[in-house]
Chain A
Amino acid sequence: MKIPLSWLKDYIDIDLSLEELARTLTMVGLEVEEISVIGLPLPENSGRQEFKFTGLAWDPEKFIVAQINEVMPHPDADRLTLCRLYDGSQEWVVLTGAPNLFPYKGMGTLEQPLKVAYAREGAILYDGHKPGYELSKLKRTKIRGVESFSMVCSEKELGISDEHEGVIILDPDAPTGTALVDYMGDAVFEVSILPNMIRDASMVGVARELSAVTGKPLKIPSRKATSTGPRIDDLAAIEINDPNLNPRFVLGLVQGLEPKPSPYWVQRRLRLAGMRPINSIVDATNYVMLETGEPLHAFDYDVLVQRAGGKAPTIITRAADPGETLTTLDDVERSLDQHTILVCDTAGPLSLAGIMGGLESEVTETTRNVLLEGASWNFINVRRTSSRLHLNSEAGYRFGRGVHPALASWAVDLGLERMAAWSGGTIAQELVDNYPQPPFDPLVSISVQDVERKLGVTIPAQQIAVILTRLEFVCKVDGDIVQAQTPPHRLDIGEGVIGKADLMEEIARIYSYNNIPETNLADELPPQRNNLELANEEKIKDILAGLGLQEVITYRLTSIERETRAYLQGQSLDPENYVRLLNPIAPERSVMRQSLLASVLEILEKNARIREHLAFFEIGAEFIYEQKNSLPMEPRKLVIGMSGKRSNPSWDLQTSGNLDFFDLKGVLDAMLQKIHLQDVSFQPAKHPSLHPGKCAQISVNNTMIGVFGEIHPRVKQNYDFLTPAVYIAEIDLEALLPLIPLRFETSPVSVFPPVLEDIALIVEETIPADKVEALIRQTGGKLLADVRLFDVYRGDRIGAGKKSLAYSLTYQALNHTIESAESTALRNKIVRRLEREIGAVLRDN
């Protein structure tokens, strides 16, 4: 909302600087986003600037209110005129090209001089001929042989609006010779209105907040003009079908008026407030809306009479019938539903209540009698209709947030007065006022202790009452209790405990949040609990980062097509189980992911173009909708993805080859070890994304916690990978996390020297390596401190279908030095057992 300072000053005295005013407004909840200066001096830049200032200051010596006494034709140019202009001390001849001066050309000395904004040589103003706002300095030139050193300004040149069709013609009472800034210098505050402060989308509303903070009295405008016309009762009637939709409807009538351009000061104010002046009738309705916050609507009364067959029209309000249509004044035919409220007459719909008028009964150049509507509407219906029709209007914006019905008659009265003042005509006596459902304005009581309890500050009852009274609550103080009657312009104050909270906000705002002292929490601490799930997830992240993997966090919004890429044809995830968006922003973000694996593959693919070594992981939720009548499951997963070179390239070393299955397995081994899981085993497995021969499942204590392996070559083809193979692990955290022990035990470290020995065993290819190792460990018992596989050989020297596994064994005891006899005996025992149970043969080197 744009608030011109000059307009605001109609309702309250302001002696604050522009910055102080902006700060004051911001601190009551009317955040000032920007201040455009229209002629007034810009604040000096003190180094600390709290608000954004834009605009043009008018030099009081260079911009003057002047009068054109005569408009003369230019001797050589039809499109130019020469003006005899008096600037208060001297008369000049000034060249202009303004089309709105042509009508005065050749009329000789004007009976009523034209008041204009006059810029002298050296004035800095906006260049009216260039797009946007570009500053230029007014210089002496010759145009078509006539010397020009000054000019008559348009609104654009002065920074008032982008209007450059003609020069400004000021109101006749503008004082010739005065500095322009003193006559109409201004500043416009761009204020954002919070959803619960729609009452402040008006000049009076903003002034009221200022009055509450500064204590300066609020000057509420009221109608002064008297009615001289006939009584309205005989000329119009109102029928309200549903008071829930339309709690109040007020009509006033002005007869014998004539639409014309509004006075210049009205046009300027409307423009500064962001509205386009139309004519003196429409301008009056907009002006009063901006002034009071109550949108008004003007009907061409004669059209209504005609529609009523020559009789006095009856206005009927009701819900629209589904399928009903109305052509609004923007000439669009709107189809309506049962939530739309209509203003009708006996012949049918006239306008969309609270949103936009209809085309047929709109005010035109030929309108001579105006029926003026001020009403109140159910905000939910108004919101529904404007959002369904994508129809944003100033009226819909206000009514859609709730306008108090009490404003209707006040605003209609002001509207009638301004219309008659700017368009002529006489005001009919009385109003037609149908008010079937006045809202309940709650009486709320709040105590000093209530305020203490919620705000942490002691504010005496008297001071509470002063704050609320300035906001027009009617207050009674009884000891520590203040009884506050909600004023009839607010719909945001509730009853009981909610009303108390509502008042608390008013008190805190006006008292100022800055004045509430800062304290530390002193209340009882809640019962403390562990958050093992989170702690373990964070621990796993640390372990993986320590193992050289980079964490990623990906989009949880994806598309079915993107996820299908990660699976073999015919084996993708069940499309029925997706959480599907009803209103996606784009097809590629239309479902919640069901596969974290697919998300991580995408990141691998993306980074494959910029890095040779890829090692990423992500922990996050998947979304699976199995039971559509409840909320979806959100199981958490860990996915690791690796591909490319085993190490980073260096300037003097060749790289160490490509990552493979066992690099990923090594990472998993290390991770599982660091979270102290016991009884981990691996078995060959199948997975719809993985190579059938290079896929394993991980079990802990016979609980399956995940699968890993090489991405199936056919799946890999769906991606743009340059690397030879891609490895993925998919770990189910819901299964893994509960297995992580709360505590773990350590083993003692021996002080006796170890005995190291290597053995190589030839076994059948079908015997899994982990079985061999398990047998070695079992047989070696406590004295066998470590077993490490250091070589696997296949080849002619041992025959087809066989493999040789070479182990490095470490014998070590906690309580004595192992002699060679003891280690030899142990070795023989191990070899014999392996021979017996799996047919292993000791290989001679």
Chain B
Amino acid sequence: MSPILSTSELSRHFGGVAALNLVSVAIEDKQVRSIIGPNGAGKTTLINAITGRLPVTSGTVTYLGQDITSWPIHDRVKRGLCRTFQITSVFKGLTAFENVRIARQAHKGGSLRLFASRGSLKQVTEDTWAILERVGLTDKALAPCSSLAHGDQRVLEVAIALAGGPRVLMLDEPAAGMSPTETDQVAKLISDLGREMAVVLVEHDMEMVMSISDRITVLHQGGIIAEGTPAEISDNEQVKDAYLGSEKWAPLVALD
């Protein structure tokens, strides 16, 4: 099966620093692919380059058979390349419901209706409730989202991305700052989503990564140092070296 999304020798430099250096990855449909690596490895930069948040220095991004390297952001999203952010990025002044509704409206269309009510987009409203239900935010839907707890805002991020009808869903540390219970719930959700679409997961919680990933790619100093199944990665000596001295080392060892 050909990959749904791939990069070819993708590089991104900041001044003299190569945050990404000749990275080539291929993402398969309906799988969870985790990207791990120590702080500053280039994980977020990789997602930024793929989704158009940052222009690349060189290399190409191919999505659904098309070279999208220099496409505008909204065109990528419209074709189902959706993401969340490491630093929570939601519409703070709006309710959780309106956050998801506006994202669903972008996907379904109807935004140029000047003289209709928002509720007149019935399908959008219906889908919004379904998405909120799926991520477990139904009860908090009408609260202004700035009043939501941190964990709920992280989940709302995922809901907003889901509303875009993703074919590839890129999640940048969705469980960061979550309680263990919340982490378990979001891990279950991501694992389920991985059967419906391609999921690219950046995450530091090794227990979660090892339990739900189909494949793992390890980044270190902007380059790929290993790729394989969770079992292969936890046995890889190079990966252990890269993580040496990092607090992330412990859980990885604990799994052995």
Chains A and B come from one and the same complex: no
